[in-house]
Amino acid sequence: MKIGRNLIQLVILCLLGVSVALTLVLPELPGIESRRRTLEISVLIREADTALWSNARLGMEQAAVDLGAELRFLPLAQDNDYASQAALLQREAKGGADAVIVVPADPEGLAAFLEEQSIELPVVTMESPMPGGRACFTPENGEMGRALAGAFLEDRRGERVLLLDTASRSTGVAQRLQACLQTLREAGVPFEVQKAEAQSLQRELPGLLGQTGAGAVIAFDYAATEALASVAQELPEQPLLYGVGATGAIAACLEKGTIAAAAAWSDYAAGYSSVQEAARRSRGERSLNTPQLGFRIVRGENLYEPDNQKLFFPVMY
């Protein structure tokens, strides 16, 4: 009887020991490890100012909460510094990131770098697709460029158009510019393309307008559009201004009429989808078939239509 009781106690103790050992070992097994552990996802934008992506960030953070991920936002010290972005990505890969979301300064260069360095990490992009079939969350850039040209054609009074090339290595931005340029060419509108840095646009724009004689300006990325928004009021003869993005500053300018129209889309949805895709890829799951993001041409007069309002103010308190 006593021996029997001892044996039972011993067996129970051993079972407890084995179950503790199992709880320690199980999470380390492949497949199971990544499901249970919080994923580390690094987000590399191509600008120094993360506020440009604040709506996307809201979407990303919500997705991170829903899917058990931790985000690291890594802006660049200088806008469009491709080399720094590549170095950052390499560092994040070495540092144990499970996936990376990138707004690539140079998508082709970055794809070549990843291959060269044999960096095997799920990479999801926003704004520009990267060669190699990696997932990208952006509206169709060519269509956007054509729509911006269309918005100008509705308003034109015979002026020359200045097209700002502020991120030429970003293929997504370049596609917008090229499509817009092509549409203007077909419509017989005189235009000029000028390279500029978004960070110094506030200072340089009056000079560029004087130099080109342009009466309208079209920007193709967030930073350049925000720069237009900040300088709009100071320009002596109000040119027609067009751009992209759904930030607060752009909304304020649309309301005042200093920006005539902007192509806007749900950054929140783009951010959420990119984290969702990054999480799925890092867990070895199949990609979801997310439909292409749409965009809308928004003007002051339709800014507060419900569908447009959601783009600029995705989270209301």
Whole-angstrom Cα distance, residue 276 to residue 280? 6
Q: Judged by CB under 8 A, which of 1, 31, 77, 195 binds another protein? A: 77
Return the residue matching tokens 């660049």: 76
26 binds another protein (CB under 8 A): no
Site membership for another protein, residue 211 (CB under 8 A): no
Q: Look up tokens 């995705």; give the residue.
A: 314
Binding-site member from 1, 24, 120, 237 for another protein (CB under 8 A) = 24
Among 34, 67, 73, 143, binds another protein (CB under 8 A): 73
Angle at 212 (CA atoms; ends 208, 213), nearest 5 degrees: 110
- Give dist(CA 141, CA 174) in Å, integer: 9
CB 189 within 8 A of CB 153: yes
The region of 168-176, 181-189, 207-215, 247-255 touching another protein under the rule CB under 8 A is 247-255
Q: Are 257 and 300 in contact (CB under 8 A)?
A: yes
For the bound state, the minimum distance from the C-beta of residue 204 to another protein, rounded and expressed in Å, comes to 11
User: What is the spatial distance between Cα 78 and Cα 46, in angstroms, rounded to a whole number?
Assistant: 8
Q: Which is nearer to another protein, 6 or 117 (by Cβ)?
A: 6
- Contact indicator for 272, 43 with CB cutoff of 8 Å: no
CB of 233 vs another protein, minimal distance in Å: 5
Residues at the site binding another protein, with contacts judged by CB under 8 A = 2-3, 6, 9-10, 13-14, 16-17, 20-21, 23-24, 48-51, 54, 57-58, 61, 65, 70-75, 77, 88, 95, 202-203, 230, 233-234, 248-249, 252, 315, 317
